Amino acid sequence: MKGPIRKIGVITSGGDAPGMNAALRAVARACTYYKVECIGFYRGYQGMIEGDSVELSARSVRNIISKGGTILKSARSKEFRTVEGRRKAHENLIKEGIDALVLIGGDGTFRGGVAFSKEFDMPFIGIPGTIDNDIAGTASTIGYDTALNTVVDSIDKIRDTASSHNRLFFVEVMGRDAGFIALNAGVGAGAEEILIPEEDLGVDRLLQTLQKSKRSGKLSSIVVVSEGDKTGKNVFELADYVTEKLPQYDARVSVLGHMQRGGSPSCFDRVLASRMGVNAVEFLLDGKSNVMVGLIEGKIITTDIEQAIKNTHDINRELLRITDILSV
């Protein structure tokens, strides 16, 4: 049985997300509050392997709550996937006197934590930080709300030019294998059609929707396509296929890409990150480990980390239903 926790290590790992800095700030400030030292490792697990660390005092995280990205940088460490890499990381943690870890990232980050905890006695708590929102055990991951607002703002801008030129736009958004960004931002931006991996409606259904839109007098349309969409055509091939079948459409493509990962975090994400960061430290000090903090029905709760990795949460099919109605 380990003694009291006196020093907590923290990393940001995987695809970065707006709000990660707010979470780091909360972890560092909660450590100061509870008289525990806080050590950040740069570039996720790679910084642990290389011993690339920095002390995070209450003052060293000043003025970062509003900053996108992560002051600790982020990475996906191939070396940490090896036993040797994890051994090196553990050696450095012991050298630094680290008693516990806070891991801020997505499911890949948490898989690394589970592998590590099977080999070494090092308690850890996961904080879900990814724009994809594809983690069970929380209604919202840090960065998701900001990404939604970035996408809605981008589509609003695209709609201006689509209307000016009577064009059809295909807008590809991130989300990896999940359609949360596409579905929620698509509804928020009034898209005529939304293609997501969870519901492969097929290209013919898309053609029917677009023909219906034309018949109803729509001169321009927006189709939001999740990057993990399962139609079997990438967004450029989709645009070509539709204009071949429906020559009355003048189609263009916009791939929003990595801008969805940047920007100043929304208030929602700052508050979510602050709550998760403080609670992660408190749960560690209360002796919890191998859990992820999550927001469920407005409360910060914990979920077994392997459940959080294994399960997914359902897409809100009601949003798909109302998309049909709202694009009449």
C-alpha separations of 271 from 19, 177, 281, 317, 326 in Å = 9, 27, 16, 27, 32
Q: By rule CB under 6 A, what string of x and - marks binding of each residue 220-259 to ligand F6P? A: -------x--------------------------------
Q: By rule CB under 6 A, what string of x and - marks binding of each residue 253-282 to ligand F6P? A: --------x---------------------
Active site residue 132: yes
| Closer residue to ligand F6P in complex, CB, 100/224 | 224
| Closer residue to ligand F6P in complex, CB, 132/192 | 132
Name residue 117's amino acid.
S
Distance CA 48, CA 299 (A): 32
Q: Which helix (H) or strand (E) holds 186?
A: helix 180-188
State yes or no: residue 106 binds ligand F6P (CB under 6 A). Answer: yes
| Closer residue to ligand F6P in complex, CB, 176/313 | 176
Q: Taking contact as CB under 6 A, which single stretch among the options 24-32, 41-49, 127-135, 234-242 is the one that binds ligand F6P? A: 127-135
Catalytic: which of 16, 99, 107, 132?
132
**Helices 180-188 and 317-326: angle between axes, nearest 10 degrees:** 30
Give the tokens for residue 104: 């801020």
State yes or no: residue 131 binds ligand F6P (CB under 6 A). Answer: yes
22, 276 contact by CB (below 8 A): no
Distance CA 31, CA 39 (A): 10
Instruction: Give the interface with ligand F6P as residue ranges (CB under 6 A).
Output: 15, 106, 130-132, 174-176, 227, 261
Active site residues: 132
